[in-house]
Structure 1
Amino acid sequence: MDGDLSSSWDSDDEYEKFIRRMNPPRVVVDNDSCANATVIRVDSANKYGILLEVVQVLMDLNLIITKAYISSDGGWFMDVFNVRDRDGNKIEKEKDLDKIKNFIRKSLGEDSSFVPSRRKSVGFTPSSDHTSIELTGTDRPGLLSEVSAVLTDLRCNVVSAEVWTHNSRAAAVMQVTDEETGSAITDPEKLSRIKELLCNVLKGNNRSREAKTTVSVGVTQTERRLHQLMFDDRDYERSDEDSRNEHHRPKVTVVNWFDKDYSVVTVRCKDRPKLLFDTVCTLTDMQYVVFHGNVDAEGPEAYQEYCIRHVDGSPVNSEAERQRVIQCLEAAIERRVSEGLKLELCTSDRMGLLTDVTRIFRENGLSVTRAEVTTRSGKAINTFYVRDAAGNPVDPKTLDDIRAEIGQTVLQVKGHADHLKSPQGSPTRFLFGGLFKSRSLYNLGLIRPYT
């Protein structure tokens, strides 16, 4: 039986490769048809997860998507993206345009092996350069400080990390090296000890939702993996107190299309980079396929509209399923929203640097709500979003004390004054998107509320 299944899987995989070989992806980059954006058109044989593949490539290239038109009904995928660079400009250099085309073609080519994977919550991914540690647990003030202290005590150096918190849950993907070798940790006993101690830290006092310890396999893009970790940890489940704060949430609706077997998902919220990735990532990991879509982020609000079905071919067919889609998309959008004062640390990297910095935050009553840790050519470039332990804005006196201890030039404030206890008027840090200007499916009378 197992042999038959394996043979069938291999046969299907070879057939998909044959289709891609006979129909290579076509990528066209156009700088003439739009005055304020570079237009990228992608045509390819269709497969599950292809939209996420393309969006992820654009995100990895640090491009901002301002518009998108999606169509993947049948055996062919056709998509158009309007993109800009991080400074809001068109991509003018020929070498950058060629890079975009080559990256997308490689991602969608016959040798690509994209599988929307789902993995467990805590584990290690083997690599010759570093060991990747995945963590989930109950969020609390000082958690990052405790985690980094454990790693320092075990002589592990954090070379990069990304930490998200949402709805009292925390998730992290950290790349660490062994201090002695400067490369990946290979000692099984040391790996086991790291997992044991980190799980004890992550459990905290919450015994009802303990951290899991599972060795992971394969490699997944970090931000996608963070979405998966928090989804698996059910951070979308809200308490009664969370339910009272509905006016702060993104506006997500799910309705069924009249006389069609689609469900139509609409999302309205403040725009920011990677918003499209967050929503497409979540729909893909929930096993939904986007057949058609419109995305617009050029005005005061981002608007996204998707026609979806489950991979089994059915639309959303119950109220419970509809609510789950809404809650999961809301959570996916909120996870990346960086609440708190943005601080940037730039200094020479050394063993235990992250431990020392986060210990100072903790001792001064600050809680890290999100963090990005990177090292480049011996330099540590770390970004932290912080609030006080009660979740309130940071006291300016506390901030002065922390900067005096760490170094005024080493730790700089990158956020706005409205994240301090004495707020001053300042523009929001978010980019703003806009309502999709064409007539929506709802206004055309083609969709109806779920009944």
Structure 2
Amino acid sequence: MEGFCYYRPYFNPEFESLIEHINPPRVCIDNDTCKDCTLIKVDSANKHGILLEVVQILTDLDLLILKSYICSDGGWFMDVFHVTDQVGNKITDEALIQYIQKAICTKRSSKEVQVCPGREVRPRHVAMEHVALEMTVTDQPGLLSEVSAVLTELGCHVSAAVAWTHNRRGACIIYVDDHEMGRPITDQKRLCHIQEQLQTVVEAHHKNGEKQCVKLTTPATAQTHTERRLHQLMLTDEDYEPCSICGGSSGAGEGMELKRDKLNNNRMSCGCTQVSIDTCKEKGYSVVNIKCRDRPKLLFDTVCSLTDMQYMVFHAAISSNSSIAVQEYYVRRKDGCTLDSENERYRVRKCLTAAVDRRGTQGLKLEIIAKDRIGLLSDVTRVFRECGLSVTRAEVGTENDKATGTFYVADASGRKISKDMVAAIEKEIDGKVVVHDKPTNKSDSNTRGMDDKPSLLSFGSLLWSRLERISSNFGPVRS
């Protein structure tokens, strides 16, 4: 029977709060059981979203989750994570261990756990008073450059920014404050003017009927995790489409469940993410299986997607073997029902595949360090545009007078990044650029590294880049 509800849990917010107070989370960090990783054991009263909260804490510390075993039946949450740092070492720093314990055992909004001693937490925590610019657009070269240029003209200082692209769609969140005053922008008329100017720029890059959204959100008492918010924006934007190689990006198309096995070999050959959904009738669960290339933050991305689609994880087993990750989730909807209709399964497969693939954007990684100033993001992205490069993913942050950024850039022609390009960027920003020669996706044969020779740009691309630079100097449209 489609839509059968196995059970409908009773929910009382006051009772749940009381249970958490009586039985606060307990965290045990074990460095003795396994010789090659640290075990982080968590048990507490269960609530919707608790798994995501724990994974988010570990992910923000750049820890690698090699394996995980999750159980949350009977109103109690128990989880074991096998983790290492980025270079494969155990977690032995006492300050970091204390931070993990305190962060998991207290609410994420608590000020006392916002800063980890002697360590940078990524993505950088953004102060609650910053205005957030949220955009979902058609991915086009130079658009981020134009948007940041307009913000500079309007006297907005970019304190942090994160941008993703996937399947010809793009989303970004840019946190801004007032450059002259050095404080949040609170004037509603000015906020409306800024949004109107940005809307004009974005609309100029879109044809009639193309989806696009520009929204300024004022400071709030609570703030959604930046990367989770990006997942939400792109999910709402429906940034998924079939793979051109295997013919289906989520394991099977609607009404094609019987053809899933036939497509498996094709999906493995093109490196696509595999998602399948079965039913465990004995226990009343839907079983979601994900098989894909392993990478950092993979667990966060899938758990984030399941949580925001209002599915509860009761049991799970996550492991990685070489470069392949396998995840198995036993889930029900928040109302207690399983995923029995084909339409719902089809949607979940598509959404999970998109969640996995968004952060797997191909491109060459550039790390930039410079003195913070107004217009820095505009200058960096303009140089990228003039060099014929597109930004496929970016993360920018500021602390005191220092600005750091990680950019993934790509070029349709497969041209390498030359030393001349790096020198041009360093001169423009008066800072340091580090190029990571290793491609971000081993399957991408067109992604190249550093080239000692100057890049050869066509006359047309050079002329076009100069015209774009001139046009950007006219400033925002006056209404």
Which category of TM-score, normalised to the shorter sequence, fits these structures?
0.7 to 0.9
Quote the residue 1:41 is aligned against.
41
Match of 1:310 among 316, 325, 333: 333
Quote the Cα distance in structure 2 between the aligned partners of 1:325 and 1:75: 25
Following superposition, the deviation at residue 366 of structure 1 comes to 1.1
The alpha-carbon deviation at position 214 of structure 1 amounts to: 6.5
Question: 1:403 maps to which residue?
Answer: 422
Q: Gaps (5+ residues) in structure 1?
A: 1-10, 112-125, 426-451
Q: Which of 415, 422, 426 is the equivalent residue of 1:394?
A: 415
Structure-2 separation of matches of 1:424 and 1:109: 41
1:75 has 2:98 as partner: no
How far the C-alpha of 1:96 sits from its partner, in A, is: 2.2
Does residue 205 of structure 1 match 2:227? no
Corresponding letter in the other structure for 1:101: Q
Letter in 2 for 1:249: C
- 1:287 is the counterpart of 2:310: yes
Superposition deviation, residue 260 in structure 1: 3.3
Map residues 12-411 of structure 1 onto 2, 5 A cutoff: 12-107=12-107, 129-203=129-203, 204-208=205-209, 209-213=211-215, 215=217, 218-238=222-242, 243=247, 247-388=270-411, 391-396=412-417, 399-407=418-426, 410-411=432-433
In structure 2, what is the Cα distance between the partners aligned to 1:145 and 1:423? 23
Partners of 1:35 and 1:105 lie apart in 2 by 26
Structure 2 residues without counterparts, runs of 5 or longer: 1-10, 112-125, 250-266, 451-479
Alpha-carbon contact 2:134-2:214 (below 8 Å) kept:
no
Q: Contact 1:45/1:77 (CA < 8 Å) preserved in 2? A: yes
Q: CA deviation at 1:306?
A: 0.4
In the superposition, relative to structure 1, how do residues 190 and 394 fare at CA in structure 2: closer, same or farther (>3 Å)? farther
Counterpart of 1:228 in structure 2: which amino acid?
Q
Distance in 2 (alpha carbons) for counterparts of 1:382 and 1:393: 23
- Contact preservation (8 Å) 2:165, 2:361: no
Amino acid in the other structure paired with 1:336: R
Shift in CA distance, 415/206, structure 1 to aligned 2, threshold 3 Å: farther
Q: How many angstroms does 1:176 deviate by?
A: 1.2
Contact kept, 8 Å, 2:364 with 2:449, in 1: the verdict is no
- Count residues in correspondence: 397
For the residue of structure 1 that corresponds to 2:73, the secondary structure is coil
* Contact 2:156–2:178, Cα closer than 8 Å, also in 1: yes
Percent identity at matched positions? 48
Shift of 1:129: 4.6
Q: Is the 8 A contact 1:341 1:420 kept in 2?
A: no
**Deviation for aligned residue 1:273:** 1.1
Kindly indicate whether the alpha-carbon contact (under 8 Å) linking 2:362 and 2:447 is maintained by their aligned counterparts in 1: no
SS in 2 for 1:57: helix
Separation in structure 1 between the aligned mates of residue 351 and residue 199 of structure 2, nearest angstrom: 26
Paired AA for residue 162 in structure 2 = E
CA-to-aligned-CA distance 1:318-353 (integer Å, 9 cap, x gap): 111111111111100111113111112112121111
CA shift, 1:222, in A, is 0.6
Deviation per CA, 1:100-129, whole angstroms, max 9, x where unpaired? 111111138999xxxxxxxxxxxxxx9675
**Does the 8 Å contact 1:54/1:107 carry over to 2?**
no
- Distance in 2, matches of 1:80 and 1:127, equals 31
Q: Give per-residue Cα distances to partners, 1:42-91, cap 9 Å, x unaligned.
A: 11111111111111111122221111000011211111111112221111
Shift in CA distance, 179/19, structure 1 to aligned 2, threshold 3 Å? same
After superposition, the Cα gap between the structure-2 partners of 1:35 and 1:251, relative to the gap in structure 1 and judged at 3 Å, is same
The code of the aligned residue for 1:91 comes to I
Change (3 A) 1:262 1:422: closer
Whole-Å separation in 2 of the counterparts to 1:392 and 1:37: 42
| CA offsets 1:149-190 (integer angstroms, 9 cap, x no match) | 110110111111110011111111111121111121111111
Question: 1:294 deviation in Å?
Answer: 0.2
Kept in 1, the 8 Å contact 2:133–2:215? The answer is no
SS of the aligned residue for 1:297 comes to strand
Q: Is the 8 A contact 1:66 1:81 kept in 2?
A: yes
The answer on whether the counterparts of 1:263 and 1:316 sit within 8 Å (CA) in structure 2 is yes
Q: Distance in 2 between matches of 1:129 and 1:18?
A: 31
Encode CA deviations 1:213-272: one digit per residue, 9 max, x unaligned.
Answer: 474754111111110111111112458789477533211111112433211111111211
Task: State which of 391, 412, 434 in structure 2 corresponds to 1:412.
Answer: 434
The answer for the alignment partner of 1:114 in structure 2 is none
Instruction: After superposing the two structures, state which structure 1 stretch, 85-94 or 321-330, moved more.
Output: 85-94
Distance 1:76 1:34, change over 3 A: same
Task: Report deviation, 1:21.
Answer: 1.2
Q: Quick one: structure 1 residues 82 and 421, their matched pair in 2 at CA, closer, same or farther if it must change by over 3 Å?
A: closer
The structural deviation recorded for 1:407 is: 2.6
Helix, strand or coil for the counterpart of 1:100?
helix
For residues 109 and 148 of structure 1, the distance between their equivalents in structure 2, rounded to whole angstroms, comes to: 29
Q: Which stretch shifts more, 60-69 or 323-332?
A: 60-69
| Contact 1:257/1:263, CA 8 A, preserved across alignment | yes
Residues 242 and 169 of structure 1, relative CA distance in 2, 3 Å threshold: farther
> Once the 2 structures are TM-superposed, how far is the Cα of residue 382 of structure 1 from its aligned partner?
1.2
CA distance in 2, matches of 1:321, 1:106: 35
Residue type of the partner of 1:406?
I
